[in-house]
Structure 1
Amino acid sequence: MPYRWTDPAPDVRVLRLWPHNSLPRRGVGVVVLTTFTLLMVPLLALLGSVLLWGLLPFALLAVGGIWVALNRSYRDRDILEVLTLTEREVHLGRRNPDGGTQNWACNRYWARAEMHDTDGPVPHYVTLKGAGREVEIGAFLSEEERQALFLELQTALHP
């Protein structure tokens, strides 16, 4: 699952959540190189012809488009959420893809996890509620992962 609980101190629990990337960074290079190779094979028959120079820019444009799209996908999924549970406080920090951060803190006694089965932007939308605010957590996870996260959050917040 793209989240992990750790216990850095005796009375502190930390949950880190991140989006799942099915294609590793090295895989991007392999995909782009494979696309380039497969696009160049038909152009071998045109070596020495004027048609090669007419088709080559379009092939390179397609390879460049794939490179830009895959890098944009990685940049958009560069999200990290960190939930810190101490004896008295719950703190949620989020690093957005644009580099900005969002923070939320609440007294642990008043914090609670809620699941909105159909009311949220995604099915089984999980939020944390407390200190007069309601914040989302793990909206980028799959439906099954959000359901498992909700159960873990309930037991972690109020053991």
Structure 2
Amino acid sequence: MPDLPYEWITPDLGDATSPQHELHLWPHRSLPKRGFAGFIGGTFLLLLLPLYPAIGSPVLWGLLPFLMGTLWLLYWAIQRSYRDGDVLEELRIWEDRVRLERHARHRATQDWEANPHWIEVVLHATDGPVPNYVTLRGAGREVEIGAFLSDEERVDLYHDLSRYLPARG
């Protein structure tokens, strides 16, 4: 099975208040922090290539601000992407309730709670905003889970959730 951007947490069975099952989901990072440092370093070296013949001439000072501005803009855009993707969804399943929390940077925590015996896990193969859209339906609401996952990852998530909650969709 491929490395998925979610994991089931082993609960503390000795603690009566801990959930029976716990799932953490986060957006996939195609460029990890270590790769980011290498990418910025490599881009910096490549941007220096047109400056090499200009060393010692006034052209260097004309090119330098634009090339360094390009590097700064690239750095800023990737950092912004990291901040915007700083999302964590936590699904906790107890015997008598299920709680879903969505934590995002600079936003209030969104939460939903329902009785697990009345929850449906639904896979909207084609009629959702994206293919293989996964929702939890219960307590008079339908909430999305794992919207930031790829199509294949959402199908895997649906099958994982179906082991712990009823699947009727």
% identical equivalent positions: 49
- 2:108 paired residue number: 100
Match of 1:8 among 2, 6, 11: 11
Q: Distance in 2 between matches of 1:5 and 1:26?
A: 25
> Given the alignment, which residue of 12, 37, 42 partners 2:45?
37
Shift of 1:99: 4.0
- State how far apart, in whole Å, the 1-side matches of 2:72 and 2:10 are: 44
TM-score, normalised relative to structure 2: 0.89
Deviations 1:60-117 (A, max 9, x none): 0110011011101111111100000000100000012334210000011111111111
> Hey, what's the Cα distance between the residues in 2 that align with 1:17 and 1:107?
21
What amino acid does structure 2 have at the position aligned with 1:39? Answer: L
Distance 1:53 1:6 in 2: 55
Mean Cα deviation higher: 11-20 or 96-105: 96-105
Unaligned runs of at least 5 residues, structure 2: 14-18
Deviation at 1:158, TM superposition (A): 4.1
Aligned to 2:151: 143
Q: How do residues 62-141 of structure 1 correspond to structure 2 at under 5 angstroms?
A: 62-141=70-149
Cα separation, partners in 2 of 1:158 and 1:118, compared to 1, 3 Å: closer
Q: Which has the higher strand share?
A: 1
Q: Which amino acid aligns with 2:104?
A: N
TM-score by length of 1: 0.94
Per-residue CA shift, 1:33-60, capped at 9, x if unaligned? 1111111122111111111111111100
Residue segments in structure 1 that go unaligned for 5+ positions in a row: none
Alpha-carbon RMSD across the aligned residues, in angstroms, is 1.4
